[in-house]
Amino acid sequence: MPDLTRRHALGAAAALAVTVGTPLTAAVADDHADHADHADHADHDGDAGHGGRQAPRAFDEVYRGRRIQGHATEGGGHHHGAGYAVFVDGAELHVMRNADGSWISVVSHYAPVSTPRAAARAAVDELQGARLVPFG
């Protein structure tokens, strides 16, 4: 077995530092990119919502042939929806706001998005033409 030299030890330490540091650097870069995306995102209005976050704007559009709508609800709405209702072709899409401000729906539960509009669009994509059955 070869003897460990200073050169080999320094090389191994450098390789370890790069291996450990790369995911941390990538995570910090992703975090900065997420904050930059939220700063100029067009789906927010100027009103601060729960926890200082901006409240999402109402929307009503046709996306891939499906009518998607979303608006604030009176009195806070469903406890997870943060007072916001989303509909796909008139059927309510259950949405929930996560602690980090992202949104998920019952259709795309494991793919958080930045706004209820994006959650509605993701649901339409996931449904692939199928009818949304109202939740509970």
User: What percentage of the chain carries pLDDT values higher than 70?
Assistant: 57
**Cβ-contact 62, 118 below 8 angstroms:** no
pTM of the prediction? 0.59
pLDDT one-digit tens code per residue, 89-128: 999 999 999 999 999 999 988 999 999 999 999 999 999 9
d(CA 116, CA 77): 14
CATH superfamily ID and name for 44-127: protein ne1242 domain like (3.30.1880.10)
pLDDT exceeds cutoff 70 at 60: yes
Report residue 82's pLDDT band, with 50, 70 and 90 as the boundaries.
low
Identify the three-state secondary structure at position 79.
coil
Token look-up 């796909």 returns: 88
More confident residue, 97 or 10: 97
- What stretches of 35-134 adopt beta strand conformation (E)? 44-48, 54-56, 59-63, 66-72, 84-88, 91-93, 95-97, 103-105
